[in-house]
Amino acid sequence: SQTIHQWPATLVQPVGSPLSLECTVEGTSNPNLYWYRQAAGRGLQLLFYSVGIGQISSEVPQNLSASRPQDRQFILSSKKLLLSDSGFYLCAWSDSGGTGQPQHFGDGTRLSIL
């Protein structure tokens, strides 16, 4: 069966510091991968998605970047964190079979910026 892992679970970082959040998926090949942010108020905002190694699509302009160095690895990064980057970050995957493939989420990373 497929599993998705995100780490770390919680992170406290000072303003201006770098960020690296990692997500890996097991049990599937060539998945679509996604990074979401869930701010207080609970709505989910799609930040990035990827349909293959090295292919990244950005949904909103921001202080963050994403990379996919391997088929089942998705990384969210920042060179300099802002206070507004605080939130709950969720990674998700779906099969690459076209519209309708449900997305499956990891347990999330709670990021607090001081």
- Tokens 């959040």 label which residue? 21
User: How far apart are CB 15 and another protein at their closest, in Å?
Assistant: 24
Cβ closer to another protein: 17 or 101?
101
Contact mark string toward another protein, 18..37, x via CB under 8 A: --------------x-x---
> Does 104 interact with another protein (rule: CB under 8 A)?
yes
Cβ closer to another protein: 49 or 64?
49
> Does 61 interact with another protein (rule: CB under 8 A)?
no
The single residue among 12, 15, 51, 82 that binds another protein, judged by CB under 8 A, is: 51
